[in-house]
Structure 1
């Protein structure tokens, strides 16, 4: 038999991965915190398996949640005052040496933006899209190193993409021309640029017309729908933290967003402290 505090340390060590730290133990309970700004990651399958065991519990924030240094990530608790060693042995076997929780640091991307649209290109209207993107990038300490404005012309867009790549950008964001109208050529240009398209379309509202692909060197390229410009929270806000943390997205990642991917358009937006994008 183990005292609750002794058992709590074992449960803590199962959880604590890179860039995390813990509180002192109190009555069998230990809290775990972020040691850096970054993306919180949880092994949900193993977390569930351990929580299936009687007399043990681990409660966490959602997987893929952007966190700040010092923020609470998880709480662990041993239910009884005394617990059988066997219970902890089962939890250790489930973990199999892998930490359940970690915080991934954000990487230092050099971002290039391509603004598409004849009215902006011909200076008939002001580019109001790029400032929105710049503000969102600032949340992750990213700066735009190159910006090109092009007409609704496939060759111009292709040339702009190639120019950004030649100038050493490590992330490309395209805005404008992302719908299915005949004169919206941004998606076809991205497809012909040599990028491997992961998905054109995402089960998220707002953000259904989102496009993402990768070049051979894993350089991500995104096509952002117009809703990113005027909606407080969109698919871009859900996926940007993962991309900045260096996670290479796949089709399954986007498909998983469907559960919880409906924004309720609250009068006062509280994202990310809401259910948007928090599917299980």
Structure 2
């Protein structure tokens, strides 16, 4: 029931009422709180001259109930739904892992005019209790029959938000380059790769340097996959005559997922598999772009035992020019 704030003293607020200032954003009157005389002027100062108060009406769902029920309906594995202030539901990760978003489902939800689902991108790596999504509701309340119809409309797309759990893996690193083996140049790629692997809870159990020789690279990869779950090979990934890494990876692998990924930096990279062992060829551009590169994009999938689809790789081209690349290149 909608009433003037002056006439609502002694009644309970039906939902959160918020204030927004340069220093503060949040509820000044919470759902279920008894409205007191001191609330009247405070509410008016922030534009709330009328308030909805609680009433017995079982046919309506208020936002705080609806967003939680809806969140639980669309949530998949390893996703917890938690009610927050101002009628929002937070979707939290129950474990570390890979965020998966059903884009068709998200589009359907955000086209209802009732609920808004805001999430991280598919492929994001999160830790336990990380925020991965927020559900907002546009109206303050919805009839139970309308709510049930919305559930039916999105049923075929559920789950919409899920987290594929990650596991710690053993990793191998192979750094290629005649100049590295001959001691003419220090290995700068290896430490960068190792740091990235540790960020995703991988332990390095194999390290080798290889000349720009296809057979030698093949031998090193075969040796690495005997002890490691994932092998990262750096250097020699372009199309120069001396770049032999892609050929070597393709020889060892059962299947190649991609060669060339539409992101900047480190476009000339490659992902392949030998049975369930991932082999990731990375451009030597990681030396110039250590903070963000193909490792950040692909390792979340590898540690979560999920092979990225070709469609997903192709879609990375939209937004594939990273802010880091633009800043580093001074563009």
With normalisation by structure 1, the TM-score equals 0.87
- Count the aligned residue pairs: 267
Counterpart check, 1:255 vs 2:314: yes
Q: Which residue of 2 aligns with 1:142?
A: 202
Question: Are the aligned partners of 1:14 and 1:100 in contact in 2 as well (CA < 8 Å)?
Answer: no
Shift of 1:250: 2.9
Distance 2:306 2:89 in 1: 29
Shift of 1:239: 1.6
1:24 is paired with a residue of what secondary structure? Answer: strand
| Equivalences for residues 78-117 of structure 1 within 5 A | 78-93=137-152, 94-96=154-156, 98-117=158-177
Q: Which residue of 1 aligns with 2:224?
A: 164
Q: Which residue of 2 aligns with 1:35?
A: 94
Question: Are the aligned partners of 1:111 and 1:172 in contact in 2 as well (CA < 8 Å)?
Answer: yes
Q: Which residue of 2 aligns with 1:203?
A: 262
Distance 1:255 1:97 in 2: 22
Shift of 1:243: 1.8
Shift of 1:25: 5.7
Shift of 1:238: 1.4
Question: Are the aligned partners of 1:53 and 1:87 in contact in 2 as well (CA < 8 Å)?
Answer: no
Q: Which residue of 2 aligns with 1:180?
A: 239
Question: Are the aligned partners of 1:8 and 1:25 in contact in 2 as well (CA < 8 Å)?
Answer: no
Q: 1:112 to 1:25 in 2, by over 3 A?
A: closer
Q: Which runs of 5+ in 1 are unaligned?
A: 269-280
Shift of 1:97: 8.1
With normalisation by structure 2, the TM-score equals 0.74
Question: Are the aligned partners of 1:199 and 1:251 in contact in 2 as well (CA < 8 Å)?
Answer: yes
**1:35-76: CA deviations, max 9, x gaps?**
222222221211211221132222222222222323222222
Question: Are the aligned partners of 2:75 and 2:160 in contact in 1 as well (CA < 8 Å)?
Answer: yes
Q: Which runs of 5+ in 2 are unaligned?
A: 1-58
Q: Which has the higher contact order (CA 8 A, sep 6+)?
A: 1
Shift of 1:257: 0.8
Q: 1:116 to 1:203 in 2, by over 3 A?
A: same
1:102 is paired with a residue of what secondary structure? Answer: strand
1:152 to 212, 226, 244: 212
> After the TM superposition, which segments of 4 or more aligned residues of structure 1 sit over 4 Å from their partners?
none
Question: Are the aligned partners of 2:93 and 2:129 in contact in 1 as well (CA < 8 Å)?
Answer: yes
| Equivalences for residues 200-239 of structure 1 within 5 A | 200-215=259-274, 217-231=275-289, 232-239=291-298
Distance 2:222 2:255 in 1: 15
Rg larger in 1 or in 2?
A: 2
Distance 1:34 1:249 in 2: 20
Distance 1:38 1:243 in 2: 10
1:75 to 118, 126, 134: 134
Q: 1:63 to 1:86 in 2, by over 3 A?
A: farther
